[in-house]
Structures are given as structure tokens and as C-alpha cells.
Structure 1
């Protein structure tokens, strides 16, 4: 009825979602209000309507960027849409209550009736996946309105931190859940830093989150970092930090729980990454992809030429093993023998 029904069908459901957008000035007075309460739109259509009909979401402001100016959205579209998706997918449809978007000069608050799904708390929301409305989540996922079923909060973390903004704040009371995202960019230089680091090293989502978090602070201890990332202990930081430390994007001092992690301020300003070290630790699937791309450009090539073009800092034995595995798996064709051996794509 919510997704395929007509207006009168949705109206019969006393818990059909209603969204209210309320704008406040610096004195806390209401200056604008928009309401979607006529039940003419499905939950999926509501997301598009709210994004398009709230003019404040199109506000942008300029940040200095060398000799130029950089336009930055007041509130990122991905963040706003993810907030709406989470509110619509994870709300309890057995409970009445409107969804509120409260816009203040310095922040946006999303208020959803009901509690978090059983097993999810503000302290574990980054790592715990519990789906209250499984079929609704699958429908939103299949329509490409959410990346993965029951995900989204980690994406909000990633986008905000990579833009130099604070992490989202999640509060649960006896009858509602509130998520607050801040408008202010704490460190504008973080935007270019994360973008170039991602372009250079192909960061994972976890790495973008932790790198954005550390770039906003002078330093964080292992305990503080684990607590902010909602991890059970400092030993769980390993998959988040290992490659960043190998690449010298993140540095550390101290030992065990007293270890302090930080981003070199000089690196944050200069963006002068030592990219040569990445190929020494290149992952097998990435090395195979580079070899396939190289052979595609230079068919009938020898392994010595492949090694030279892909990167001499990679041991030749690793390149040879990767080529042999590709031949075995059918990814490459081998022609000739010994020094005359050449490779091409099938």
C-alpha cells in the first residue's frame, strides 16, 4: 500500500509517513515550513520531492582554494538523501509520528519517531546491521536509493568527514531518534587532502573515514580513535590504519593504548604524497589488473617490457608470478618459448 497504492490507500494507513521541514532563524524562531502530508507520493517519491522542493538544500558557499574559489554545498545531497532513506526504511510502521527535518543556521536535524532497531545503539551504529523492515530495505536497494541493504550511516560518516565536517551526532530518547549534521567545515584543506589521497591510493571507505577524522584533529590516542569509531578495543584499529601507516598518510608515536595517531600538517598543506611506495605493497588483484591493461595496450609484449611499464619498484618475480597465474586462469595468452615468449589478451 505504501509503495504501490494510491492516495486513498495510503491515507487509510494511520502510520503512513508524513515529513515536515521547518526552518529556524538564529533566534530559534520558525521562518519557513513545508509539509508532505497528502499521501500522494510513495516513500521513494518523497525522497526526491523533499530534496527538490527545499530551496535551502541548494545553498552553496565559497571557500578559498589558492588563487581560485571552491563552491561547497551547505548540506551534501548524498547526506540528505541517506538521512531520508534511513528515516523511511528503518522507522517502525506500527507507530504514529511525523518525520521532522529541522534546519537551523548551523545544523540540520533529522528526527524520526520510534527507537532504533533492536540491537542497534548510538554506540554501535557504524558496525551493526539490523533491518527492521526487510522488504522495504530490499526495495530501496533494488531501486538504487541505498548502496546496500540496511546500510547508510557509514556513508554519512564518510561524506561528512571527507568534507572536513564533524561526524554526525546520533541521539536516542524514549520515543525518537535524532541525527544532527553540522553545516560548518572545520578544516577546508581536508577536502582536497582526502580527494587526492583517494585518487592516489584508492582508499577504502574505512580508510576515508579514519583519515578524515584524524585530519580534523591534531592527534588522537588509540583509545580515543577506537572510541570515536565505536570499536571494541584498540586492537580492532588494525584494518582501519594498517595501509595508511604503510603509506605514511598517518603517523604514530608511543605504544599500545598510549599510541597517538596524526596526519602530518605539512602533508595536509602540501599534498605531496610519496606515491612510489604504493607499488611495493600492491595487492595481487590490482597488479593483475595493471598487467591486463598493459597487455591490452601493447599486445605481443614481453614480460620485461610489462615489468618496466607497470613499475620497476615491484619485484620482477611478483610480476612473473602474476603473469603466469593470468595465463593459467585464461586472462592472458602466451606465445613462443623462453626469451621469445610474448603475451596478449585472449
Structure 2
């Protein structure tokens, strides 16, 4: 198993002998507890998949390990099991439970969190955030008002049970449970049939929901081109559960019904001003991931050129605008589970992927996520950046069905298409990958079928759409010099310098605005080093001419 957010391997030497590293092991346990919990396989080396053949865990070692971790940590709960691997070797499977309501730390005052396959120190500002954020993770399952499930809204209960039993995302085992068992399974009620906070939010009556500390309130405000408010609607009577609220908001905003028609000859397509999948996902995220222990309304601010959804509170601990595509932390896990089971939201880690794919396939900009001191906003642009993108995507999905099923590849293609040509470093940054080396799984399916092409090596690799794809799709795309071949760029520079002797690179760039400046600068320097151009002056104001 690969090391990652919830799994790590440790040598048996970590817990044996004088060189035992219990302090380091404690740091890893704290990191797991502060993130999503996880498992430590003690007795498997980093480079191996299995323990050494016939490796035996000494009697009492597992218990000693758990004891030593307990002595070195605070708010960390663990459980150990000795596992026999297929090769006969044994190792300790140490499970670290997620700390639900408090921040875990070491007895030496260290705080850590898990970032992919690493345990990292928690910065002071993030520590404060983790402390304030923890209570919101346990809000759903608490029982603070003694309402029995028999006191809930019967229509909402009947609708919920019917939807669960008809959902293809719910197992037959769960569907076969009694009503009381289903409610307990989805944390809507406790073992004594008292409704939890989540139960009241979903099944409660209007007065019951009003008694929740911070039931969701949504405000829709429309602005004109001068920034003046022209329309306002508020959902604040607490009569609807999250599903009903989302549906009512979707039906009530007329801007989401608007569209633009793009055409070329016989080809026509309606492009929605705001795609339904994107709108629903943004709104669903606002309701599913907001902290229900924090006061504040959800705002849908509609401008002539964009929609901005503002949510109270910050992103869940560990998630930032720069890793939202690659990292998922659910603040309200049980609510998210219900929304997924009822097909209201996408699965873990796929919501923003869906929004990226949809926006790019319509020729629009990707959503912009911003985190303030006490709020998170998502901006969705109305403007169509490339009118031909839809036509190219339709061609791609029809003639390359395997790519059509590969969301990573579609997002990558959309970014490359909009950028025309992009370096591996810049592409990795837009895909929020920590390293350009991890690009392979994103670009390989496209390169293997000649959908995108590349030039250069290593970090200097650049990607661009195969011109044949553009040609075959019949897309009427304006020709630019962004992806010009090096030998043609060389001739273009020579032609420019025939008429403009002794020019700075910046001067040439102004006359060839479509050519990326870095590409132009690199080619000019190469031509000078090979004697095809003569440089004059110092490095800062160096001018070039033909021999």
C-alpha cells in the first residue's frame, strides 16, 4: 500500500532497542489525529510492500508501543493489531483515530498535521484555526434539544426514507434496515431515538429547526452595472431542510435560466450563463461545508458578469485555495454523506473537478476560490473565454471515448486549450500539483493518443493541442504565434531584424506580441550564441542585429 494522507510505514527499529524513535512516532500519531486519522504499519520498511519473511513481533511489543505513544501525546487515541502478511511476516497495524473535538499534541508542546505522505509542524496561525475549527466537526452528532424522532416532520421523514431506499448509492444492506436503524446509520438520531443536530436540520419542523444555534440562512442579491442593489431575496424562515432549500434557490433565481447561442454554419449550441451542475455544486458546498457553529449568512451575489457565493467561516483545516483540487477534508461528514447518497452532491474530492471540467468544456474560466479572515468566496464568471471550446470538446468526447471518461485528462486538455501553449511547471501549478513530476497521469492519456503534443524536456517541457484536433473539429480558432515552432520563430526574428536593426528583446517582443516573451528571449540568446545574431552593449540594454 502506498504511503499517503492516512497511511505510513515504519521500520521495526522505530519501536525496538536503544535507538527506538518513539518521539518521532508520537509526532506521526499526532499528525494523523489532527487530520483524518490513519494507520501506521510498524515493521514494514519504506521501500517494501511487506514485512521481512517470517518476521515475528515480540510478545508485549505492541502494548509497549501503545503505552509509549500515550506517554508522549495528548488527545491521541490508538489501537493496535498484529497482522500476518501473505509472506508469513508479522507487523503492527497501529490505528490512530481522528481527534473529533480537540487538537492533538505531544507532551513537549508540538503540534503536527498530515500533508499527503508527510507529517509537518502546525504553524501558530494554523494552530489557532484548528482549535476554533474542531468543535464544528462534532456538531452534527450532538443532541442538545430532546426531540424524539416521532416529533419530526412526517413528510420530510417519509421523503428521506423513500429517497434512500431508491438511491443507487446506498447498499441493499442499508436499504433493508428499519426506519429507526436508517436514521441512526446516517446520524440523524442517536440510539435513544433523539434527533441529533443533523436530524433536526434534515427532518425537523420549522420551530425545531429555528432552535438550532445557526441554521443556514441564504441571501440572494442582484447588482446592476453600477453596483446598486436591484433585487434581493432571503431564505431565513427555517422551514426547509438542505435538499428543499437548494431546490427552492435553484428555481427562484432567473439568471440561471439565461443562455447564449454560439454558431458556426450549421453547428449551433446553447451555452448557459451559469451551468446547472456548477451552480448546484457551489451552493451544495456552501451548505455542506460551512461551520454550523459560526454565525453568518450564505450570500449569492449576482453581478452582470459574474456570480460570487460567499460562505461564513474559513475552509476546513488543511484545505487552501491552492490545494482544493487535490485535497478534501469534510467539515460536516455526515451531512456530506447524505447529500452524496441522494445525488445532491458529488463524491469526495470530485466536486471541484466537476466544476473545472464543466467550465473549461464551455470555454469559460475556472472558478476562483478566495479565503478571507472569516469567509470563503467562490467566483464563477459568466463570460465565454473561447467560443470554439465547446466544439472542440464535443469532437474530443465523440472520437476519443476513453478520454471522455477521464476527468483528469479533460481538465488538463481544457487548460492547455485555453493557454494554447503551457510549460509543465505552469500546468502543474494550475492543476495544483505539488510537483511537476506528478503530471504524468494527467498528460499521458492525451499524449499517447496525440491529442496534445509536447516540446522540450524536463521542467522545460511545453504542451500544446495537436493542430490536427483543431482542424478535424472544424473549430474556427484565430491563429496566433503562441505555439510557433522554434525554426519558424528563428526566421521570424531574422525577418524582424531586417527592418529594425539593433533592437532590444523587448522591442522585438512588442512587434511580435503573440510570442511568449520567455520563448522569444531564449531563442534570441541561442541565435546570438550560435553566431546568427550579433549582440551590442551591456547585459541590461543589449541590442541585437543580423551579421
Which of 414, 438, 441 is the equivalent residue of 1:236?
438
d(CA) in 2 for partners of 1:39 and 1:132? 22
**Aligned residue runs from structure 1 range 210-221, under 5 A:** 210-221=412-423
Cα deviations across residues 55-79 of structure 1 (Å, max 9, x unaligned)? 1110111112323542211000000
Given candidates 112, 128, 142, the residue that maps to 2:327 is 128
Distance (Å, rounded) in 1 between the aligned partners of 2:398 and 2:293: 45
> What residue number does 2:371 align with?
172
The structure-2 alpha-carbon separation of the partners of 1:246 and 1:151, relative to structure 1 and needing over 3 Å to count, comes to closer
How far 1:255 sits from its partner (Å)?
Answer: 1.0
What is the number of equivalent residue pairs in this alignment?
273
Q: Do structure 1's residue 67 and structure 2's residue 266 form an aligned pair?
A: yes
The question of 1:157 aligning with 2:359 is answered: no
Mapping 1:1-346, distance limit 5 Å:
1-149=200-348, 151-201=350-400, 202-203=402-403, 204-265=406-467, 267-271=469-473
Give the whole-Å Cα distance in 2 for the aligned partners of 1:212 and 1:66: 24
1:167 Cα deviation (Å)? 1.0
Contact 1:189 1:269 in 2 (8 A): no
- Give, in angstroms, the shift of residue 2 of structure 1: 0.6
Paired residues of 1:215 and 1:268 also in contact (CA < 8 A): no
1:283-316 superposed Cα distances (whole Å, 9 cap, x missing partner): xxxxxxxxxxxxxxxxxxxxxxxxxxxxxxxxxx
Bigger shift: residues 110-119 or 196-205: 196-205
Cα offset, 1:269, TM superposition: 4.4
SS in 2 for 1:216: helix
SS class of match (2:227): coil
C-alpha change, 1:226 and 1:149, in structure 2 (3 Å) is closer
Q: With a CA cutoff of 8 Å and minimum separation of 6, indicate the structure with the bigger relative contact order.
A: 1
Check whether the contact 2:327–2:349 (CA below 8 A) recurs between aligned residues. Answer: no
In 1, the alpha carbon distance for the partners of 2:264 and 2:209 equals 49
Bigger CA radius of gyration: 2
Gaps of 5+ in 1: 273-346
Is the 8 Å Cα contact of residues 363 and 390 (structure 2) preserved in structure 1? Answer: yes
SS at match of 1:61: strand
Q: What SS is found at the alignment partner of 1:109? A: strand
Cα pair 1:138 1:149 within 8 Å, conserved: no
The answer on whether the counterparts of 2:325 and 2:349 sit within 8 Å (CA) in structure 1 is no
Q: Secondary structure at 1:187's aligned position in 2?
A: coil
List alignment gaps of at least 5 residues for structure 2: 1-199, 475-547
What is the CA RMSD across the aligned residues, in angstroms?
1.5
Superposed displacement of residue 190, structure 1: 1.0
Contact 2:214 2:294 in 1 (8 A): yes
Distance in 2 of aligned mates of 1:61 and 1:32: 23
Q: Is the 8 A contact 1:160 1:167 kept in 2?
A: yes
SS of the aligned residue for 1:192 comes to helix
1:47 counterpart SS class: helix
Change in CA separation of 1:151 and 1:90 when aligned onto 2, cut-off 3 Å: farther
Quote how far apart the aligned CAs of 1:200 are. Answer: 2.3
Contact 2:206 2:237 in 1 (8 A): yes
**Residue 165 of structure 1 aligns to a residue in which SS?**
coil
Q: TM-score, normalised by structure 2?
A: 0.49
Q: Find the aligned partners of 1:80 and 1:26 in 2 and give their Cα distance.
A: 22
SS of 1:177 mapped into structure 2: strand
Structure 1 residue runs of 4+, over 3 Å off?
none
Deviations 1:71-128 (A, max 9, x none): 2110000000000110111000000100011111111111000010011010100010
Aligned with 2:203: secondary structure?
coil
Mapped partners of 2:217, 2:467: distance in 1: 46
- C-alpha distance in 2 between matches for 1:184 and 1:117: 30
Partner of residue 334, structure 1: none
